[in-house]
Structure 1
Amino acid sequence: MTETTTPPAPALAYVIAGSEATGGAGIQADLKTFQALGAYGFGTLTCIVSFDPKNAWGHRFVPVDPQVIADQIEVAVAAHAPEVVKIGMLGTPATIETVADSLTQHTWRHVVLDPVLICKGQEPGAALDTDNALKDRILPLATVVTPNVFEARTLAGMERLQSVDDLIEAARRIHALGPAYVIAKGGVELEGPDAVDVLYDGTQTTVVSTPKIGQERVSGAGCTFAAAVTAELAKGTEITEAVRVAKQLVTQGILDRLASHAPFDAVRIVAGSERAAADLVQVRTH
């Protein structure tokens, strides 16, 4: 008689984010990233973002009712008791209030915040209200924050962010707002041949870089990076190694990017792709 063994339970990676209709970013990218890194992914939908192909691919934004969001979080937490969650696009002050209230009712080992400060498709005044609510309600709950250049400059209160030294200063200022770890992403936005990200933990600064792959931003790179960090933290990976894996995964995903009829390419993630880019990533501490 052959004995059957139950495989070990996978790490649980939870995400609260919006849907992006082309599949290249948002919760679609998050769940693909979790799967590629061997974590069990599940998510709560906050909004639906699509585009208008008949009008220069302008953004269309539809929020999910706050009670529906709260219901989704309630059942996700009750079913799986996750310890690590990624927060992606929220989109409205009402959504932010709902998510913040729900987060405080559960104990988290890590809350990874990808601080989407620009909600395309909204009026400027509404976007500002969303930005302020995100900083007031969600940022204080985050243990890990992954801003891009614009978000880092905004959160840090800096007039310009043009160099790696500026990126390091922004990470230090954002750390002072409360999160244990700040990962400020330079991407293709900074001058120079490398795409540089900075991890700051309050004591040590770690610079992670790869050669730039073109000069255009690729859809889903930021979502995928934060999702990879989330999956690795859920697996118990140390933060610096989690950032290294995320950088490797995104780098290979950009190399393998998917073109479409949309005016932007999308990161393409497959299982094991992080290993293919291992030699491209350089890590140094300050």
Structure 2
Amino acid sequence: MVNFAYTIAGSEATGGAGFQVDLKTFQQLGVYGMGTLTCIVSFDPNNGWAHRFVPVDPTVIHDQMEATLTAQDIDTVKIGMLGHPATIDAVAAGLARQSWANIVLDPVLICKGQEPGAALDTDTALREKILPLATVATPNYFEACTLAGMEKLETVEDLAEAGRRIAEQGPSYVIVKGGIDFPGPDAVDVLWDGTEATAYSVPKIGEERVSGAGCTLAAAITAELAKGADIHDAVRVAKEMVTAGIAARVGAHTPFSTVWQGAYTA
């Protein structure tokens, strides 16, 4: 039996984040990946590796979703970078075509290629139109603070409280990623399942950010849910995969390394 997972996300040309990471993660976990591109992001090596952001036309997003959801019976989707209010409208309309068992939202609240005003409009639209639809949300430290209305997250209890507050906005499950910004020697993620919090903790590997870690975690959760795993097992596998991928990270001529999904074997 083939299990299908679907990603709606932006392309990142170097393969270190976004659509490319999602498909690599799906493949590594034995899931057939399908996808819709929402934007094209390319780093600018002549401008400090800043983001260059080009949105995909909403009609093209509609057409991609129509083709994918007609071609296969898909009930599990991961949503990554959307980047523009018109994109969010198109994706929300596409999601409304059918019912879903699992909508995993990686709530990208910063699109570095946008002007501040446009970014704020995008954030507002994401919170109003996509977050309430999510089954699972996987905010990072900054996103969790923003969505939960908290200034900082310094303890496991803070991560759990952020998850609880975000769950009140729609998602059944929230995984708050402490990441490199969480104080202390451990990389801590906390799952709020609507009743209680579960912490997943491993020693930090280095003190630098590794590109693609958040995408990999959300995509791995998506793949495991598509195979029928429960949320706790899905998060456990995702945490293991990200940890292995960070340990085997791929260096480049960029100022950052990227997660290597191929380092993980079940």
Is the TM-score greater than 0.5?
Answer: yes
Quote the residue 2:15 is aligned against. Answer: 23
In structure 2, C-alpha distance between the alignment counterparts of 1:222 and 1:180, rounded to whole Å: 19
Residue 33 of structure 2 corresponds to residue 33 of structure 1:
no
Mark the runs of 5 or more structure 1 residues left unpaired by the alignment: 1-8, 276-286
Report the Cα offset of residue 163 of structure 1.
2.2
Deviations 1:52-110 (A, max 9, x none): 11111111000000000000000100001201000000000000000001101111001
Q: Which residue does 1:157 correspond to in 2? A: 149
- The counterpart of 1:187, out of the listed 163, 179, 184, is 179
Say which one has the larger Rg: 1
From 217, 224, 235, give the equivalent of 2:227: 235
Is contact 2:36–2:61 with CA below 8 Å preserved after alignment? yes
Structure 2 partner of 1:265: 257
Tell whether the 8 Å contact from 2:10 to 2:19 is kept in structure 1 after alignment: yes
Match of 2:39?
Answer: 47
Which blocks of at least 5 consecutive residues in structure 2 are unaligned?
none
**Aligned pairs (5 A) from 1:1-286:** 9-270=1-262, 273-275=264-266
Alpha-carbon distance between aligned partners in 2 of 1:128 and 1:161, rounded to the nearest angstrom: 22
> Aligned partners of 1:236 and 1:35: how far apart in 2?
16
Cα root mean square deviation, aligned:
0.9
Does the residue aligned with 2:59 lie in a helix, a strand or coil? helix
Provide the secondary structure at the position in 2 that maps to 1:160: coil
Q: What number of residue pairs does the alignment pair up? A: 266
Q: Distance in 2 between matches of 1:167 and 1:54?
A: 38
Distance in structure 1 (CA, Å) of the matches to 2:166 and 2:265: 28
Give SS of 2:210's match. Answer: coil
What TM-score, normalized by structure 2, do the two folds share? 0.98
Letter paired with 1:132 = T
Q: What TM-score results when the alignment is normalised by the length of structure 1? A: 0.92
Q: Is the 8 A contact 1:19 1:26 kept in 2?
A: yes
Are the aligned partners of 2:28 and 2:265 in contact in 1 as well (CA < 8 Å)?
no
Deviations 1:112-163, CA, capped at 9 Å, x for gaps:
0000000111000000000000000000110000000000000001122222
